[in-house]
């Protein structure tokens, strides 16, 4: 289990991380979200001992990370780095050996990972001759091949198309199911909702939200209503307690001032019988993000 207590880091007069506390258990995924400059990458660099905290403590399984074998850790930085003139097989072998893997095991594992991530290219190809997407896959394999017990991913989905992002998501879930503790950052709230067990939201270095994603969403109330009925946009907009009405073809999306308004709308909408859709849910994680700290992508 990764544990961070009262972590603080300043640069000159700027507080990059302020009294942050978090836990990531084995077999758990924590999403770390926030605007650019919120303190995510600084937090990762302190976990990895690239930066020294001003105060606070970081432990892995109750031991200082300085005393932990770093072969247990996998790290994918936001700024990816491969050796472009090195062959794919040589590159993966090099990184795997850095993490303590033996040659026989590496030769056995590389083809499995190449197939898992559907890499279009041969082990004898130079990295620079692969497409950008396939280069990213090689970087991901280099990060995951040693099956790290603690995995840190800084914007792992950046630049990936939806198909390759799904392949990465499957790889992350595979490691979680194998018992790895995983912490990652992303601006893609959809992926955060889909794969994270818990989240931490940072704003100017401070934790502004933390906990189970479902619990966080429910705490904001079921103020989003999706409706398909014979009611018109004007009727819905004039309904007391309806703040915003958006129309998507036949479906209306309403933002309510109070979840209880939904019951009244349901009663009116069903007066004439069957309605194809009525769904009342909490705001999405992206909407909550905007409420707490502003725009998602800056």
- CATH code for the domain in which residue 54 is found: 3.40.50.300
Assess whether 82 and 123 both reside in one domain: yes
E strands, 12-72, in order: 14-24, 28-34, 55-60, 63-64
27 shares a domain with 164: yes
Residue 196, token pair as written in the block: 């994270």
Q: Looking at residue 298, what is its pLDDT?
A: 45
Looking at the fold, whether 31 and 153 belong to one and the same domain comes out as yes
Q: Is 188 among the domain residues?
A: yes
- Mean pLDDT, rounded, for 48-55: 92
Tell me the longest C-alpha to C-alpha distance in the chain: 71
Q: Are residues 71 and 168 in the same domain?
A: yes
pTM of the model: 0.85
Residues 172, 258: one domain? no
Tokens 């258990």, located at residue: 25
pLDDT at 131: 86
pLDDT in tens, 281-292: 999 998 999 888
Q: What per-residue confidence (pLDDT) applies to 96?
A: 93
Tell me which residue range forms the domain holding 254: 221-281
Closest CA to 25 of 206, 215, 198: 198
Nearest residue to 244 via CA among 219, 271, 225: 225
Let me know whether 152 and 273 are in one domain: no
Pair (99, 44) in one structural domain: yes
On whether residue 290 sits in a domain, the answer given is no
- Partnered with residue 207 across adjacent β-strands are 202
Residue 292 placed within a domain: no
294 in a domain, yes or no?
Answer: no
Q: Is residue 101 part of a domain?
A: yes
**112: in domain:** yes
Same-domain pairing of 148 and 38: yes
- 295: in domain: no
Mean pLDDT computed over 48-62: 91
Structurally, the chain folds into a number of domains equal to 2
pLDDT in tens, 180-201: 999 999 888 888 888 999 999 9
pLDDT mean across residues, the chain: 90
Q: Are residues 26 and 127 in the same domain?
A: yes
Asked if 199 and 73 sit in the same domain, the reply is yes
Residues 158 and 239 in one domain: no
Quick one: 136 and 276 in the same domain?
A: no
């Amino acid at each position: 289990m990764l544990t961070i207590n009262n972590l603080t880091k300043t640069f000159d007069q700027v507080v990059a991380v302020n009294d942050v506390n978090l836990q990531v258990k084995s077999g758990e995924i924590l999403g770390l979200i926030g605007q650019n400059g919120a303190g995510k990458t600084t937090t990762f660099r302190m976990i990895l001992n690239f930066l020294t905290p001003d105060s606070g403590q970081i432990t892995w399984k109750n031991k200082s990370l300085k005393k932990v074998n770093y072969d247990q850790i996998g790290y994918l930085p936001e700024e990816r780095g491969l050796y472009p003139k090195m062959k794919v097989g040589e590159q993966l072998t090099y990184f795997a050996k850095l993490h303590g893997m033996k040659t026989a095991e590496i030769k056995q594992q590389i083809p499995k990972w190449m197939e898992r991530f559907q890499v279009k290219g041969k082990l004898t190809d130079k990295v620079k001759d692969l497409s950008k997407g396939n280069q990213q896959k090689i970087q991901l394999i280099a990060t995951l091949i040693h099956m790290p017990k603690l995995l840190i991913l800084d914007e792992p989905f950046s630049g990936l198309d939806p198909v390759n992002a799904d392949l990465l998501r499957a790889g992350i879930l595979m490691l979680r199911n194998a018992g790895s503790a995983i912490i990652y950052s992303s601006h893609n709230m959809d992926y955060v909702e889909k794969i994270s067990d818990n989240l931490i939201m940072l704003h100017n270095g401070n934790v502004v939200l933390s906990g189970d994603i479902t619990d966080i969403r429910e705490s904001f109330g079921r103020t989003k209503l999706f409706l398909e009925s014979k009611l018109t946009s004007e009727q819905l907009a004039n309904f007391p307690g309806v703040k915003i009405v958006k129309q998507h073809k036949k479906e209306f999306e309403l933002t309510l001032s109070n979840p209880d308004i939904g019951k009244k709308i349901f009663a009116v909408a069903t007066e004439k019988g069957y309605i194809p859709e009525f769904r009342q849910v909490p705001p999405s994680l992206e909407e909550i993000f905007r409420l707490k700290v502003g725009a998602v992508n800056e």
